[in-house]
Amino acid sequence: MINKKYLKNLRCKEINNKNDFIYDLYSERLVDSLEIINLNFKNILILGDHGTRIHNYILKRFKNSFITICDFRKTNSKYEKLNNFKEITMNIDLWDIEPNKYNLIISNFFLNCNDNISFVFEKIINSLIPNGFFLSTLPSKKNFDELKSAMIKTDIELYGGAYNRFNKTTDLVKIIEFLKKNNFRIPLVNLEEIKLEYKQFDKLLYDVRSMNLSYYYQDKKNTFEKKEYFKVLEKNFKINYDKNFSLTTEFYIISGWKNHNSQQKPLKPGEAKNKLSDFLK
């Protein structure tokens, strides 16, 4: 079970916009996906206030659109003074976003803060208008694998067993199943991998901590680690040939449309005018 109080406190931490480094890398991939879509989205919902790159891009490209950011807390954003921009808070237990309202719903490492991803996908499709577009990132099971391995080794060395330190993730098969179950049209799931290198281990930890994704389930370790833990952790973290600390972030980019008559539909058996063999000659 998620420790909802702890999760809300995590999300309520002030975001340091000078250190959105990893989130900005994810944001760039989302922006690339939006760049190839030639539609003018009028009503846009951003789920999760992660960094500023997505906000800035949307405000610049969709100048006449209305933009809503939804998170567990408000950030007193500088955009609040804009007429086409607002922030709202979300009830952690309930989805209270209006149905049939948004042309575009976009989320950056936020949907994984919920145990029931299928429920979230259901509410997203309901909140989109026909021909509305959904775009999101979610961590894969191999995200930050090098750090996970070093933490397990360190826990066993210091405590004789490993604590849960990373939140649960949804595997690819389940994501595809949820998209199909909720009738997303043209669903796509792409696996992305970004390799990072750090000369200083403290900088690596700082970037990971800035994401505010600490383990937030009920069985979390409730005591802070001392400096000794991080010394052993650094020793157990494998360095590469350049004597740098390598970190891999692996994540899914998920997209899908709400059904609309204008969308191309697959032909039924027997409707095709040509056979496959006609194109293979």
User: Tens digit of pLDDT for each residue in 180-237?
Assistant: 999 999 999 999 999 999 999 999 999 998 887 787 788 888 888 899 999 999 999 9
The pLDDT value given to residue 195:
96
- Rounded (5°) CA angle 81-112-260: 75
Higher-pLDDT residue of 281 and 150 is 150
Domains defined along the chain, listed by start: 9-143+170-197+251-279 (3.40.50.150)
pLDDT per position as a tens digit, 79-104: 667 778 888 887 766 777 889 999 99
For the segment 268-274, the average pLDDT, to the nearest whole number, is 56
Is 248 in a helix, a strand, or coil? strand
Are 115 and 55 contacting, i.e. CB atoms less than 8 angstroms apart?
A: no
Q: Does the pLDDT value for residue 128 go beyond 70?
A: yes
What is the percentage of the chain residues whose pLDDT exceeds 70?
85
Q: Quote the pTM value.
A: 0.86
Strand order in the sheet with 102-108: 85-89, 66-71, 43-47, 102-108, 128-139, 245-257, 185-198
Please report which confidence band the pLDDT of residue 270 belongs to, taking 50, 70 and 90 as the band edges.
Answer: low
Amino acid 16: pLDDT: 46
Answer with the residue of higher pLDDT: 75 or 199.
199
The answer on pLDDT for 18 being more than 60 is no
Q: What is the pLDDT confidence band of residue 248, given thresholds at 50, 70 and 90?
A: very high
More confident residue, 188 or 277: 188
pLDDT computed for residue 173 by the predictor = 93
CA contacts within 13 A on the Cβ side of 206: 11
CA dihedral 33, 34, 36, 38 (to 10 degrees): 160
Asked if the model's pLDDT at residue 277 lies above 80, the reply is no
